[in-house]
Amino acid sequence: MKVLNLTKSMPKILVLKKKINNFNRIISVSGDKSISIRWVLFSSLANGVSKARNLLISEDVLAAIKAIRKLGIKSEIKNSTCKIYGKGINGYKYKKNLTINAENSGTLGRLILGLLINSPKPIKIIGDNSLSKRDFKRIADPLTRFGAKFNLKNNKNLPLTILGTKKPKPIKFTEKKGSAQIKSSIIFAGMKTNGCTTLRAKKSRNHTETMCRYLNLPLKVKSKKNYDEISITKVKKIKCLNYNIPSDISSGAFFMILTALSKNSELLIKNVNINPSRIGVITILKKMGVKINFQNKKNYRGEKIADIKIKSVKSIKPINCPVKLNASAIDEFLVIFLLAAKAKGISYFKNLEELNKKESPRLIWGSKILNMMGVKTNTTKDSIKIYGNPNLKISKKIIIKNYLKDHRVFMTSVIAALSFGGKWHIHDKDSIQTSFPTFLKIINELKK
């Protein structure tokens, strides 16, 4: 496999000293991470060659490609086009003592376990420092009920070992956290049982279900008000999956908020995935008074896509954020907090326990960054009150470091520096390689 050199040797500290000038531009952000990783996994199970265009070429997605390669699946990458030579639903072949490194990716580490439910030999899953602190019991518990055997560090963390079962048994499960990773891992395992797995899942991103539907797999979803009732039975064959990956709204969100916070600016972000389970950030921005709309809407392979148009605003309203938006904006809260910092009043975000379980404890990091910026917060283990200041300006020096290289902490800090001023030293610049390697290139374009 040709792996791209992701410029690990760049200087590691980014220094920013100036607010951004007004801009009026059209940009494209990179491919959706959730869809890219799912495309890699589904394609590895298909019968034949699948091709993706605009695949996100970032460390998380490359880790997924390396993982399926270790399971005996061939792939080729040229620029952002990728081919995967799937060998069927039970086509993984590998040697004894296999180790898969999920690196920084919770999505890869958790989803792949569902596919290993019938692995005949033990497989070890490891991850980087950040992933090794995250909870894998949430996956091991339901998958144990299918019949797999797990060994986890501290009963909870990576490294873990999974030993599959020849005859996985279907299960009934209630998913209460609103985690698409738990839901997807169970759907994958359910595809390999003789019987019907049923899942009552709190609403969360539904790309796995959407791909199953596009591939005509035996998955049913009954949508209820606060949860989905999902059932999945044995999958015999998966057709090849050619896919043009749309752009990632989670990457776009940094630029939406930069625009909202800048004076006299306008931005059009092209071809973004606007799956209703991902657009909490849009609803929140609208509630805060930001002018934002969708243009050129399309359907693609069951996903919704549009260009997103956004303009800067004079006055930002505070928000008492409805908890029903939490799952659909979970990756955007850090940068949303910056908008709340400039709102005219107090914003309140609650029931956000999951936010501290991401690549870094993001509720804690969100409030740390705001406090360094001179913004008052009241933070509990699952909520934050942000005392907004419409005249917020920063002139002091702010150093951001030791944040477990969380890509979203880095990018949020960049947006804060460009929106509010001050002298920022933001460490671990290479953290963007996880999800959005072209982030700083787009920032530099907007500065021109």
Would you please indicate which residues are annotated as catalytic (active-site) residues? 331
- The answer to whether 413 and 402 have CB atoms below 8 angstroms apart is no
- Judged by beta carbon, residue 106 or residue 421, the one nearer ligand S3P is 106
Q: How far is the CB of 182 from ligand S3P (least distance, A)?
A: 6
- Judged by beta carbon, residue 204 or residue 273, the one nearer ligand S3P is 204
- The answer to whether 273 and 35 have CB atoms below 8 angstroms apart is yes
Nearest residue to 431 via CA among 398, 414, 407: 407
Give the integer Cα–Cα distance in Å for 327 and 180: 9
Report the helix count and the strand count for the chain, using DSSP H and E.
12, 22
Q: How far is the CB of 217 from ligand S3P (least distance, A)?
A: 18
- Judged by beta carbon, residue 273 or residue 367, the one nearer ligand S3P is 273
Q: How far is the CB of 85 from ligand S3P (least distance, A)?
A: 24
Q: How far is the CB of 374 from ligand S3P (least distance, A)?
A: 29
- What is the residue-wise DSSP string for 45-100? HSEEEEEEES---SHHHHHHHHHHHHTT-EEEEETTEEEEEEE-TT-----SSEEE
Q: What angle do CA 373, 377, 381 make, to 5 degrees?
A: 125
- The answer to whether 168 and 120 have CB atoms below 8 angstroms apart is no
- Judged by beta carbon, residue 134 or residue 429, the one nearer ligand S3P is 134
Pairing of strands 397-400, 423-426: parallel
331: left (phi over 0), alpha (psi -120 to 50) or beta: alpha
CB neighbour list of residue 247: distance below 8 Å, 6 or more residues apart: 28, 29, 30, 31, 32, 54, 269, 270, 271, 272, 273
Give the integer Cα–Cα distance in Å for 176 and 184: 14
CB neighbour list of residue 224: distance below 8 Å, 6 or more residues apart: none
Residue with nearest beta carbon to ligand S3P: 34
Q: How far is the CB of 35 from ligand S3P (least distance, A)?
A: 8
Integer Rg of the chain from CA: 21
Give the integer Cα–Cα distance in Å for 146 and 151: 15
- Judged by beta carbon, residue 346 or residue 364, the one nearer ligand S3P is 364
Q: How far is the CB of 209 from ligand S3P (least distance, A)?
A: 11
- The answer to whether 173 and 27 have CB atoms below 8 angstroms apart is no
CB neighbour list of residue 283: distance below 8 Å, 6 or more residues apart: 325, 328, 329
- Judged by beta carbon, residue 180 or residue 186, the one nearer ligand S3P is 180
- Judged by beta carbon, residue 16 or residue 215, the one nearer ligand S3P is 215
**Tokens of residue 217, six digits:** 């797999």
**Tokens of residue 202, six digits:** 């709190």
Q: How far is the CB of 27 from ligand S3P (least distance, A)?
A: 22
Q: How far is the CB of 205 from ligand S3P (least distance, A)?
A: 6
**Contacts to ligand S3P by CB under 6 A:** 34, 106-107, 179-181, 184, 204-205, 330-331, 354
- Judged by beta carbon, residue 205 or residue 304, the one nearer ligand S3P is 205
